[in-house]
Structure 1
Amino acid sequence: MIGVVKASGAFESGLAALSTKTKGKEFILVFLVTVLLALGGTLCGIEEEAVAFYPILAPVFIAMDYDSIVCVGAIFLASSLGTTFSVINPFSVVIASNAAGTTFTQGMAGRIFGLVIAVTCLLFYLHWYARKVQQDPQFSYSYDDREKFDQMWGMTTSEEKDQRFTLKNYFNFICLCFPNYDLGSNGQRMGLS
């Protein structure tokens, strides 16, 4: 489905629209991705599943003059910190608490405190590093691979291309977000009905 969205031009036009809307405030997207993935990690252990976000977010971050390290920090480090300080993750905290003979709420305040401190430190570091990379691309840890990343992702935000975000592009993004919404893994109907 990602290939269809990219072939239709929806990805590039969406990227151009996002770049225009966030001009000068690019870090807001990094902040949102970091916080959401940290929440995903702490609530349900979304660490390995976060890998699926790399092909979607890497071109966006690179087009905003960040590097791949900012993308890895916002996705992998945030989800790892969330999983490390799992507040109510049923796959780790609840099972471990039951095995230890305690309730999962015991120690929750400490885990919340640790999560807030860790994610705050991560956000400060990402903000510092992302700003440095935007000001001087040679500061990037992955500067030597920048051309390879640009070629691999094939994203452009040039002015000469027609990059209007049309209704067709919007529909393609909706299809990307909800490809299998109606059917669950066992074939039962899911959704709002």
Structure 2
Amino acid sequence: MDEKAGAQISKKAFIQSALIILLLMLVAGILTRVLPTGSYERTLVDGREVINPDSYQVTTGVNYPIWRWLTAPVEVLGGPDALVIITIIVFILLVSAAFAVLDKCGILKSVLARIVKTFGKQKYLLLVVICLFFMSLGSFLGLFEEIVPLVPLMIALSYSLGWDALVGLGMSILATNMGFSAAITNPFTIGVAQKLAGLPAFSGWAFRIPIFIAVYIVLIWFLISYAKKIDRNPEASYIFNEDQAERKRFAKLDLDGMAAGGGRLGLAGLTFGIFVILIILTL
């Protein structure tokens, strides 16, 4: 049992990620010194709060010291939205730990084997359905960070279907991001913006559905085109060399044997699914 569970990150990748976050924090801090602050007067019209466009006034902003730019990620845990942030952190930790346990027990491999066996001849249909699922999570519920623990499973599924890690990322992260952008009832974008504008909650949803459909079609076309390119020539993958070790790992799986033995693992899979759904509903 020398193999470590879960995704492993290199020291170089960790340093690069930390530097990117640090740079973004510094840029945000500089913008607080550069961008002017101001406010508008608001009046009630027919019971709705409306902004007077001619009432803009420059206000005096708070110049936080530079050291507070760097402590913001910690200070936010004591702010008014601390409960939401802590809930998301705990959710990611718990689901990630659960995935590591399921992987060590062989449950994930069994689930993958059953999916591949069922949709082996209709894998493009499976890609379409999965993309719609993840896009809906972003568009309707505003989920994004919460689906991170599901990314390794989607990458593993992509390997099992003969594709690469980029297709797995496209089915999960990219699809969720596109759905978040083409929001229909996203409470963190549509909900907040309409509340600030004094509009009825989620009004105009019918006009946003065609945009969602158009973005979905573009996403499906992009992913299927790339997946078919890999099917014709696996070496056409942009990360062909990097994926060799993982491809060999999933190529050795006994799909028939795993799928046949997956029935006794059904209860464990059902329990895990209910666990994830309950956590999502509490967010």
TM-score range, shorter chain: 0.7 to 0.9
Q: Residue in 1 aligned with 2:165?
A: 68
What residue identity is the alignment partner of 1:170?
A: G
Q: CA deviation at 1:2?
A: 2.1
Q: CA deviation at 1:185?
A: 10
> Per residue, is there more strand in 1 or in 2?
2
Higher relative contact order at CA 8 Å, sep ≥6: structure 1 or structure 2? 1
The alignment partner of 2:275 has SS state of: coil
Q: Residue in 2 aligned with 1:133?
A: 230
Return 5+ residue gaps in structure 2 as ranges: 1-97
CA shift in 2, pair 1:159/1:81, >3 Å? closer
What residue identity is the alignment partner of 2:150?
A: F
Q: Which moved more, 1:63-72 or 1:169-178?
A: 169-178
Q: Which moved more, 1:158-167 or 1:17-26?
A: 158-167
Picking from 261, 275, 281, the partner of 1:165 is: 261
Verify the 8 A CA contact 1:12 1:156 in the aligned structure 2: no
The alignment partner of 1:145 has SS state of: coil
Measured against aligned partners, the alpha-carbon deviations of 1:147-168 in whole angstroms (never above 9, x if no partner) come to 14347xx445544984223432
Q: CA deviation at 1:70?
A: 0.9
The alignment partner of 1:177 has SS state of: helix
Verify the 8 A CA contact 1:12 1:157 in the aligned structure 2: no
Q: Distance in 2 between matches of 1:91 and 1:78?
A: 17
The alignment partner of 2:242 has SS state of: helix
Runs of 4+ aligned residues of structure 1 deviating over 6 Å after TM superposition are 180-186
Q: Which moved more, 1:103-112 or 1:77-86?
A: 103-112
Q: Which has the larger radius of gyration?
A: 2
Q: CA deviation at 1:181?
A: 6.9
| TM-score of the two chains, using structure 2 as the length reference | 0.58
2:154 is equivalent to residue 35 of structure 1: no
Return 5+ residue gaps in structure 1 as ranges: 187-193
Q: Residue in 2 aligned with 1:57?
A: 154
| TM-score of the two chains, using structure 1 as the length reference | 0.82
- May I ask how many residue pairs the two structures share in their alignment? 184
- State the Cα RMSD in Å: 2.7
What residue identity is the alignment partner of 2:153?
A: I
Could you tell me the percent identity over the aligned residues? 20
The alignment partner of 1:46 has SS state of: coil
Q: Residue in 2 aligned with 1:191?
A: none
1:109-188 correspondence runs (5 A): 109-150=206-247, 154-156=249-251, 158-159=253-254, 162-163=257-258, 164-179=260-275
Q: Distance in 1 between matches of 2:136 and 2:101?
A: 30
What residue identity is the alignment partner of 2:227?
A: A
